[in-house]
Amino acid sequence: MSEQKLSGEVFYPSKEVIEKANAKCRHLYESAEKDFLGFWETEANELHWFKKWDNVLDDSKKPLYKWFTKGMTNIAYNCLDVHLNNARRNKLAFIWEGERGEFRSYSYFALHRETNKFANVLRSLGVKKGDRVTIYMGRVPELAIAMLACARIGAIHSVVYGGFSVEALHERLEDSQSKVLIVADGAYQRGKIVELKKIADEALQRAATVESVLVVKRTGHEIVMQPGRDMWYHELMHLPIAHSDDSVEKMDAEDPLFLLYTSGTTGKPKAIMHTHGGYMVGTYTTLKYVFDIHEQDRYWCAADPGWITGHSYIVYGPLLNGATSFMYEGAPTHPYPNRWWQMIEKYGINILYTAPTAIRGLMKFGEAWPNRHNLSSLRLLGSVGEPINPEAWRWYHKVIGNEKCPIMDTWWQTETGSFMITPLPCTPLKPGSGTKPFPGIKADVVNEEGKSVKPNEEGYLVIKTPWPSMLRTIWNDPERYVKQYWNRFPGMYMTGDSAKKDEDGYFWIIGRVDDVIKVSGYRLGTAEIESALVSHPSVAEAAAIGLPHEIKGNAIYAYVILRTGYEKSEKLIEELRLHVGHEVGPIAKPEKIEIVESLPKTRSGKIMRRVLKAKALGQDPGNLSTLEE
């Protein structure tokens, strides 16, 4: 690819990077182009199946695609058991550092043992194949152990991000009808304790299906344990029952593996469902080629396991590849802005995968902090979650990567399960572009009629053929799955993003076209924030929008109409911000709340958020013909 003449600012990977890469670029793209099912089948054959599939893809009931039909496997078996009889047995699977500097590590042997013990604990509590288990913790190894233990026995995990709060957790427990909640007593965040168990207790008051609550001791602060419902993880793990069995549930490739709630255009967050077979093949293949995992590498994905990035690229992808993965509990700038650089030096990290918001946040403190550390172990860098602005890209490339580490700007979604548009280590890079679709993925930018647009024209980003790690449905709402993703452009998966493709075929993501706001890379729906606001007694109506923010990418601005009898005051505004924090989580707290007399609406009563946005930015609001007043 490197002989290609490309337009604009281009960074060519070095010969060493290209030669070392697992991905032999031209060959990989060409073989996937010729036969995309054959491409995925070759990859699937590298994993363990108790029984091989009949068909790689069943597309007889579009868009209800099935992959590796009648194949039998188990993703947790492929993450752990397969490594026990080879040189990886004693290799480190996880290295973990706590915010307060504690250190723990797990070999593949140890991680298998702990997972198996916890799988038995879950079994002893009556958890069976297909049951839902919610997990609510900070970034600790027990979170991965809990996920893997669920997968091992065929239970469906639903991880709720530890930064979410009472109402968000309650909704997810209810919607998934979880039988068990696994929670930590607390989590450390910038030196303070987030009281996870206390939040859970409040959420549990209204969650009728939860029979048992298993509590991981992380902070050790005082919590209330409800007799008959709450049990300590460490106590259960010491019981003989934990050693009773080491069997693995043989799963159909299409059996659900997990639910992960994410924000959509309307209403409550929806549970995206992924499966054992296809998701396994997608995460395994993409990580191997994009982050170029080699046996001796130490890889660090700095995301939270509570989000898809953590599911796919802290837990499943790395373990499927037999990698050594580093996990850090805390914030990048605590206690000082060199925390990450210190750990890269200390643990000899080779690959760092993070989000533009973190890069911008660290950039703010200047070069002196990273320059104090030896970062020469780094070989590859990664970015995810939102478009990376070229300035942050260049800083990351120069200051952190010493101009020798290619940046893998990976575009994908909770729904896609794994990378969709991304460079490979051998791809010439343009700052701010995710470059090209991964081999086997057919992406395009189309207009209102679903026709490909011309180079550099903005349009809707779509995916034109199915891929193994695609979501299979929305839990409890299969109709919405079809309506939301497949009805807009028949036969194409609608991503919800707008994008452009340049004259070299490079994709440039512009942003969401729906009412989803990306705050520090986290996905929030305007509907969630608005319903949190109107649940406060003083609020009659509310509208939330995202406005550009230097570090966070977007910040939330909310407009509120008060009920009669309430007076506008700074105190009330602060109370409303805290209320959103309590209901949804601190990340959803609006940056600013403005009390207004009315909101711009269409004649059918829909709030015109684009008008609010244009007004806040001092821009022309465009066509106002549908505005009511």
User: Minimum distance from CB of 447 to ligand PRX (Å)?
Assistant: 19
**Side-chain-side CA neighbours of residue 508 (13 Å):** 16
Residue 178 interacting with ligand PRX (CB under 6 A): no
Site for ligand PRX in 421-460 (CB under 6 A): 434
- Cβ proximity to ligand PRX, 371 vs 456, nearer residue: 456
Q: Which amino acid is at 138?
A: G
User: Minimum distance from CB of 276 to ligand PRX (Å)?
Assistant: 20
Secondary structure of residue 576 in the 3-state scheme = helix
CA distance to 202, 211, 259, 532, per residue, from 132 (Å): 20, 11, 9, 26
Which among 196-204, 213-221, 412-420, 620-628 is the span making contact with ligand PRX, rule CB under 6 A? 412-420
- Cβ proximity to ligand PRX, 397 vs 512, nearer residue: 512
Angle at 213 between CA 208 and CA 215, to 5 degrees: 155
Which among 24-32, 112-120, 379-387, 592-600 is the span making contact with ligand PRX, rule CB under 6 A? 379-387
Q: How many residues bind ligand PRX (CB under 6 A)?
A: 22
Q: Which amino acid is at 135?
A: I
Which among 132-140, 161-169, 222-230, 382-390 is the span making contact with ligand PRX, rule CB under 6 A? 382-390
Site for ligand PRX in 502-531 (CB under 6 A): 509, 512, 518, 523
CB within 8 A of 381, min separation 6: which ones?
Answer: 351, 352, 353, 396, 397, 400, 401, 405, 406, 407, 408
User: Minimum distance from CB of 309 to ligand PRX (Å)?
Assistant: 5
Which among 94-102, 118-126, 377-385, 543-551 is the span making contact with ligand PRX, rule CB under 6 A? 377-385
User: Minimum distance from CB of 386 to ligand PRX (Å)?
Assistant: 5
Site for ligand PRX in 238-297 (CB under 6 A): 262
Nearest to residue 482, comparing CAs of 113, 61, 74, 118? 61
Can you give 229-279 as a three-state secondary structure string? CEEEHHHHHCCHHHHCCCCCCCEECCCEEEEEEECCCCCCCEEEEEEHHHH
User: Minimum distance from CB of 192 to ligand PRX (Å)?
Assistant: 25
Which among 26-34, 173-181, 406-414, 569-577 is the span making contact with ligand PRX, rule CB under 6 A? 406-414
Distance CA 43, CA 57 (A): 14
* Phi/psi-derived region of residue 250, left when phi > 0, alpha when psi is between -120 and 50, beta in every other case: beta
Residue 308 interacting with ligand PRX (CB under 6 A): yes
User: Minimum distance from CB of 461 to ligand PRX (Å)?
Assistant: 8
Interface residue with ligand PRX, options 349, 384, 420, 443 (CB under 6 A): 384
Site for ligand PRX in 17-46 (CB under 6 A): none
- Cβ proximity to ligand PRX, 81 vs 175, nearer residue: 175
User: Minimum distance from CB of 26 to ligand PRX (Å)?
Assistant: 24
| Residue sitting closest to ligand PRX (CB) | 414
Interface residue with ligand PRX, options 254, 329, 497, 528 (CB under 6 A): 497
- Cβ proximity to ligand PRX, 161 vs 369, nearer residue: 161
User: Minimum distance from CB of 523 to ligand PRX (Å)?
Assistant: 4
Nearest to residue 367, comparing CAs of 399, 402, 339? 399
Distance CA 262, CA 522 (A): 10
Residue position matching structure tokens 């929305």: 474
User: Minimum distance from CB of 556 to ligand PRX (Å)?
Assistant: 16
User: Minimum distance from CB of 622 to ligand PRX (Å)?
Assistant: 22
**Cα dihedral sign, 347-351-109-149:** positive
Residue 386 interacting with ligand PRX (CB under 6 A): yes
Nearest to residue 527, comparing CAs of 151, 270, 277, 273? 270
Distance CA 487, CA 51 (A): 35
- Cβ proximity to ligand PRX, 73 vs 309, nearer residue: 309
Distance CA 354, CA 302 (A): 5
Distance CA 547, CA 553 (A): 8
Interface residue with ligand PRX, options 275, 414, 427, 526 (CB under 6 A): 414
Containing H/E element for 555? Answer: strand 553-562
Binding characters for ligand PRX, 325-364, by CB under 6 A (x = yes): ----------------------------------------
Which among 36-44, 203-211, 485-493, 494-502 is the span making contact with ligand PRX, rule CB under 6 A? 494-502
User: Minimum distance from CB of 412 to ligand PRX (Å)?
Assistant: 5
Secondary structure of residue 137 in the 3-state scheme = coil
Per the structure block, which two tokens stand in for 283?
């995460």
Interface residue with ligand PRX, options 188, 412, 485, 559 (CB under 6 A): 412
Residue 337 · residue 365 · CB < 8 Å: yes
Other Cβ atoms within 10 Å of 571 Cβ, number: 8
Classify burial at 438, counting beta carbons within 10 Å of its beta carbon; exposed 0-12, middle 13-18, buried 19 or more.
Answer: buried
**Side-chain-side CA neighbours of residue 398 (13 Å):** 10
- Cβ proximity to ligand PRX, 219 vs 309, nearer residue: 309
Q: Which amino acid is at 430?
A: K
Which among 3-11, 289-297, 408-416, 532-540 is the span making contact with ligand PRX, rule CB under 6 A? 408-416
Distance CA 3, CA 25 (A): 13
Interface residue with ligand PRX, options 309, 418, 435, 531 (CB under 6 A): 309
- Cβ proximity to ligand PRX, 120 vs 165, nearer residue: 165
Per the structure block, which two tokens stand in for 74?
């188990």
The footprint of ligand PRX (CB under 6 A) covers 262, 308-309, 383-387, 409-414, 434, 495-497, 509, 512, 518, 523
